[in-house]
Amino acid sequence: MSFTVARSNAAGRSATVAVAFFLLLAGSGQPAQKRDWTLGPFVRPVHAPIIEPNPKPVFTDPITNQPVRWEALHTFNPGAIVRQGKVYVLYRAEDDSGTMAIGMHTSRLGLASSEDGIHFTTEPTPVFYPDHDSQQEREWPGGVEDPRVVEREDGTYVLGYTQWNRRSTDIGIATSTDLIHWTKEGPALVGEKYQHFDYKSASIVTRLKDGRLIAAKIHGKYWMYWGEIEVRLATSPDLIHWTPVEDSSGKPIVLLRRRPGHFDSAFPEVGPPSLVTDRGILLIYNGKNAAIDGAPGIAADAYSDGQALFSTDDPRRLIARSKEPFFKPEEPWEQSGQYAAGTTFAEGLVFFKEKWFLYYGCADSRVGVAGFDPKGSRKP
């Protein structure tokens, strides 16, 4: 399996330098080469969704005690992790309950595995869902949404997800040792003023180590970029309890805002776990295009993907931000579904078999994948 990519190269740049480019981006500490700071380019290894809705699997909901077709309508917005030689994807699945409107079905998380990062086998029942537990009030009836998962040094998996009760949202945190059995830890943000704060989307900073993306400590703390509309920052001693980084007035600092005329002209929203590189902290994020003053060539309200670079010494400091999306809705399944404007909504990033895989939601209806092979062929 390989991904063929096209990219401009300086005269005389060899395949060896192309490999060095990747190693530098992964934070190997090798001598610097002249290069861009972004990760990619990403291409679609298959021209089809990799996970689609399935009306056959039935799950007995623990709250209603009724059978539900838990992934009948939509499967989308996936998180991803590498475990025991396979890629595992946690994906949001919506049942066929409720009214036919976005956010009005119940979401649960399914689990799929793959030996090549592209072809997946799904489990017959969800592995994470609303239940009679301490988080029921925050998760029912809307459900659990939009997972992003990282690994701790000791092998524990930490899940950040959206809790949706059809009134408000929180970033919920859960932990697991096997991706199947989860302990719900509760809302991410600590402090009284954040207990009724409406927020979602969490990108925990990671570092590539021995082929695995591991949650990274910087200055003795874990860091998390979070939010939609505005991107903010928080720190944690344990990956479970998060304290927002605030300004002098006591408000959470804002690092990224909308940019009129760009692909993120409506707003930015954080994507998969962030990555420490030799140039800084790389954040892949999702940008919504505005209907007025939006970017030309991208549909109004469509979500595309951008990248931002922050300082490793000071994760608050923005160094660079892409002017154009590096990935956007182009295929039919990315532009048709319950979100008609189209999305390539990135939430999962892994390094697997010496390639990068980016997993994304397609129009709130399916799961797609894109890949970057640092050693792949490059056309002049």
Residue 327 vs residues 63, 101, 352: alpha-carbon distances, Å: 39, 27, 20
Burial class (CB in 10 A: 0-12, 13-18, 19+), 66: exposed
pLDDT band for 32, please (50, 70, 90 cuts). Answer: very low
The average confidence (pLDDT) of the chain is 91
pLDDT of residue 211: 87
Place of tokens 């709130």: 364
* pLDDT, tens digit (0-9, with 9 covering 90-100), for 180-227: 999 999 999 999 999 889 999 999 999 999 989 999 999 999 999 999
Tokens of 353: 């078999």
Q: Give me the CATH number covering residue 107.
A: 2.115.10.20
Mean pLDDT of 32-38: 63
- Name the percent of the chain lying above pLDDT 90: 86
pLDDT band for 24, please (50, 70, 90 cuts). Answer: very low
Asked if residue 69 lies in contact with residue 108, where contact means CB atoms within 8 angstroms, the answer is: no
Mean pLDDT of 150-162: 97
Element (H, E) at 21: helix 15-25
Rounded to the nearest angstrom, the gap between the alpha carbon of residue 194 and the centroid of all alpha carbons in its chain is 23
DSSP state of 193: G
pLDDT of residue 352: 97
pLDDT band for 99, please (50, 70, 90 cuts). Answer: confident
DSSP letters of 317-330?
-EEEE-SS-SB---
pLDDT band for 1, please (50, 70, 90 cuts). Answer: low
* pLDDT, tens digit (0-9, with 9 covering 90-100), for 282-340: 999 999 999 999 999 999 999 999 999 999 999 999 999 999 999 999 999 999 999 99
pLDDT exceeds 60 at position 65: yes
Rg (CA), the chain: 20
Q: How far apart (Å, rounded) are the C-alpha atoms in residues 242 and 148?
A: 16
pLDDT of residue 36: 87
- Name the percent of the chain lying above pLDDT 70: 90
Q: Residue 147 is part of which domain span?
A: 5-379
* pLDDT, tens digit (0-9, with 9 covering 90-100), for 165-185: 999 999 999 999 999 999 999
Largest CA distance in the chain: 66
Burial class (CB in 10 A: 0-12, 13-18, 19+), 184: buried
Q: Specify the 3-state DSSP secondary structure of 103.
A: coil
Mean pLDDT of 249-276: 98
User: Which residue, among 51, 69, 47, has the nearest Cα to 112 in the 3D structure?
Assistant: 51
Tokens of 156: 């524990």
pLDDT of residue 375: 87
pLDDT exceeds 60 at position 10: no
Number of domains the chain is built from? 1
